[in-house]
Amino acid sequence: MGPPGNPAGRARGCYALGPMPKARSLLLVKLLDGDDEHSGTMLHAVPLGTFREVVEAFAAYNTGPDGDPESSNLLYGPGIRVELPFVDARDPVQQVVVSLTEEDIAWSVLERICRGLKWKMMDPGTGRTFG
């Protein structure tokens, strides 16, 4: 409890802006085309590539690590933050989590990435794939 007039105990001049809005997250996956009822679902998922190949693929879209060895699995790009699994450089990556930090910019970047690399965006809440 803070002083009178400052019940939250904040430093003088600090204002609460409220909770930050949660960034929207999507998965990027690679799906094989199939002729059965499960076509376009995770039952047809294949690796995006090895960790090293995935990082190199993102580099072509101005997306890469910030240089901190503690967070080498995080990539930053225009309007997005990409989370890769903690695996060795030669290990396969099945999917990555993309957080949209600036939606106005992120959608066009994600569309180019998915079109160029033949990947799909997947809404983790519904399982719906698009892109």
Query: For residue 109, what pLDDT is reported?
Result: 96
CA 114 to CA 71: how far, in whole Å? 24
Is the pTM for the entire model greater than 0.75? Answer: yes
**Residue 27, beta-bridge partner list:** 97, 122
CA 50 to CA 15: how far, in whole Å? 45
Mean pLDDT, the chain, as a whole number?
Answer: 84
The strand pair at 49-50 and 74-77 is best described as unpaired
Domains of the chain and CATH, by start: 24-130 (3.30.310)
Q: Which residues touch 42 (CB under 8 Å, ≥6 apart)?
A: 29, 31, 122, 127
Write the pLDDT tens digit of every residue in 84-117. Answer: 999 999 999 999 999 999 999 999 999 999 999 9
CA 39 to CA 114: how far, in whole Å? 18
Least confident of 21-30, 69-78, 81-90: 21-30
